[in-house]
Amino acid sequence: MTAGTEIVGYGMAVCNWDAWRSPAEARVLLRSDGTAAVICAIQDIGTGMYTIVAQTVSELTELPFEKIDVRLGDSAFPAAPVAGGSWATASVLPAVAEATRNAIGQLRTFATQNGRLTDGKRAVDHASILNAQRFASAEGFARTGGTPTDKLSCTSFGAHFVEVRWDPGISRLRVARVVSAIDVGRVINPVTARNQVEGAIVMGVGMALFEATEYDGRDGMPGNNNYAEYAVPVHADQPGIDVILLNHPDLEFNEFGACGIGEIGITGLAAAVANAVYHATGKRIRDLPITKEKLMA
């Protein structure tokens, strides 16, 4: 297939990534000023943990986002796993949800211990209940466990479809388009989830066409260990990207049905590029990155 001077190649590859949970702790306070605080040692490395933790508390309490104070990333806070392995969301959100429910349970105790507020005919915000009893807050703590491994295997799945363009006249190879369909259970926040997959696709393009560590033969040290010499994709290298999030909750894995999304976007992407290059050029390159020198050899 051709488009002008370019030969068009199509390739695809499938991917999977183990869904995993680690024990996690969280503390939630419903405060007398009408706000809530969530405290957990999990880190937000730019993937949106602050947002989905606030979402969880908001869903259970009906508080707006601006009244939820999320505090993360301090080793003095309730323990949580590292932000890696695609397990942070699946590990932390169940602990946050249980801690929120425990805080609500304590609030109910405060509200009914004097025999009032039991007719069920009016809604009372938590600040009114706490102030009436002169409590500063209602507090809930929770510690949830790891992966349920006794009966079921929990996994994220996906498929990448790649279009490349090869111009043999000027020896130019580029990835023109990527379509990725990803099943990571329930998608908690579509914006941040899609952003993670898009970023992983860009990293996969770098793995396929640009990135390689070169070692100095004299001492074995990396010779291109800075951005002046290490090639990565830039804006001009970006393909058109379409991410399809299937949003099929896996409720056997956790109450939210959410599996990991951090790594699966890059898994298999370089293989899909290599298959597309083979389709376009007839050359099967098995040593990454796929450079024009290898295609012309």
- Spacing of C-alpha 276 from chain mean position: 27
d(CA 28, CA 26): 7
Instruction: From 159, 125, 139, 124, select the one nearest 30 (Cα to Cα).
Output: 139
Site of tokens 């376009």? 280
Is 163 strand, coil or helix? strand
Q: Tokens standing for 187? A: 């998608």
Q: Which residues contact 183 (CB under 8 A, 6 or more apart)?
A: 156, 157, 158, 246, 248
Q: Tokens standing for 229? A: 């010499």
Q: Is 239 within 8 Å of 176 (Cβ atoms)?
A: yes
Q: Tokens standing for 125? A: 């915000």
Q: Which residues contact 47 (CB under 8 A, 6 or more apart)?
A: 83, 88, 192, 196, 262
H or E element that contains 191 = helix 190-209
**Residue type at 97 in one-letter notation:** A
Out of 6, 98, 163, 263, the active site residue is: 263
End-to-end CA distance of the chain: 22
Site of tokens 């030969």? 7
Total Cβ atoms within 10 A of residue 180: 27
Task: Identify whether 59 is a catalytic site residue.
Answer: no
Q: Is 207 within 8 Å of 289 (Cβ atoms)?
A: yes
Q: Is 147 within 8 Å of 19 (Cβ atoms)?
A: yes
**Residue type at 168 in one-letter notation:** P
Kindly list the catalytic residues.
263
